[in-house]
Amino acid sequence: MIRGLYTAAAGMVAQQRIHDTATQNIANANTTGYKQVNSVSHAFPEVLISAMSGGVAKSVGRMNTGVFAEQSISQYLQGDLIESGKSMDLALSADLQVQNPDGVGNVLFDGSGKYVSPDGEVIYQPQAFFTVQDNEGNNLYTRNGSFTVSPAGEVLSAGGFRVLDAGGNPLTLTGPEDQFKVDGQGNVINPGTGLLTGTRVGVSIVSRPMELVRDGNGVFHADDVDAADIRFAAAGDNLQVRQGYLENSNVDVTQVTVDLNAAYRAYEANQKVIQFYDSSLQKTVNEVGRV
């Protein structure tokens, strides 16, 4: 009976985490560049159940004793682009491809940006991010292109981080911000001559986006840059920098609301199970104990 209490309690904890994740997604449904988070649950490791008969253990079967919310996975799919008309607002539109492991054509990713090969290998679609840098010199990655300019002329992200160029140096303006202009590849254009300045907005390609860690404030970092396979964008990459646009959150509010209600109902069901066990234990102690 006590095992049932632990199983139901584990279910409540897992559903609470799913509920919290869904609430976080809804709260950021209108946050620029926000990427939806999905909570993944797994069963506890199975244990072998045996019965003793004549001093010999006889296998009955396997049983798991609960569930736990193992991790939260970010979904990096493209959000809708909203026109703002501001020169310092940039958005990324990317559809990066990966060659099929058999060398024929490209991988066909599903709606979540994932592909599972016939031998079970999981491949995630590469994603593009603006590259920013914190005060300690650590590179961070964001899809929020709502930029501003500091008094020193440095381009700053919405979180106050320095935006980098394609050479890994802070992106700096030499003229008024309303004259800031870039082309579709992120190349900065001289407003006077209309020619390229030789500077390009730093856009990083993350080949394994599931290696990124969410920091908050719309930015991510990589604990292992090599594992995430991060590089600056090249001319052949299928991406475009859109000036005067911002990328909206990719949260599917309808689906998240369904998940929220499902988590609430499952939490309530586990709560009822605990109440049942509590009532049974109370009878055992107060009634059966007096017999």
Beta-ladder partners of 201: 165
Q: How much is the pLDDT for 168?
A: 93
Give yes or no: residues 243 and 264 share one domain. no
Cβ 147 vs Cβ 157: under 8 Å: yes
Please state the domain count of the chain.
2
Q: How many angstroms separate the CA atoms of 133 and 156, rounded?
A: 9
Give yes or no: residues 40 and 104 share one domain. no
Give yes or no: residues 187 and 265 share one domain. no
For tokens 């994932």, what's the residue? 114
Give yes or no: residues 214 and 270 share one domain. no
Give Cα 258 distance to the centre of its chain: 19
Give yes or no: residues 257 and 284 share one domain. yes
Give yes or no: residues 139 and 226 share one domain. yes
Q: Which domain covers residue 63, as residue numbers?
A: 2-74+253-290
Q: How much is the pLDDT for 1?
A: 53
Q: Quote the pTM value.
A: 0.82
Give yes or no: residues 205 and 236 share one domain. yes
Give yes or no: residues 261 and 221 share one domain. no
Domain boundary among 212, 228, 247: 247
Give yes or no: residues 89 and 130 share one domain. yes
Give yes or no: residues 204 and 110 share one domain. yes
Give yes or no: residues 155 and 176 share one domain. yes
In sign, the C-alpha dihedral spanning 218, 225, 131, 133 is: positive
Give yes or no: residues 184 and 205 share one domain. yes
pLDDT per residue rounded down to tens, the chain (291 residues): 577 788 888 888 888 989 999 999 999 999 999 999 988 887 777 767 777 766 677 777 777 777 777 678 888 989 999 999 999 999 999 999 888 877 778 888 887 788 888 888 888 899 999 999 999 999 999 999 999 999 999 999 998 999 999 999 999 988 888 889 999 999 999 887 888 888 999 999 999 999 999 998 889 999 999 999 999 998 888 999 999 999 999 999 999 999 999 999 999 998 998 888 888 878 777 776 565
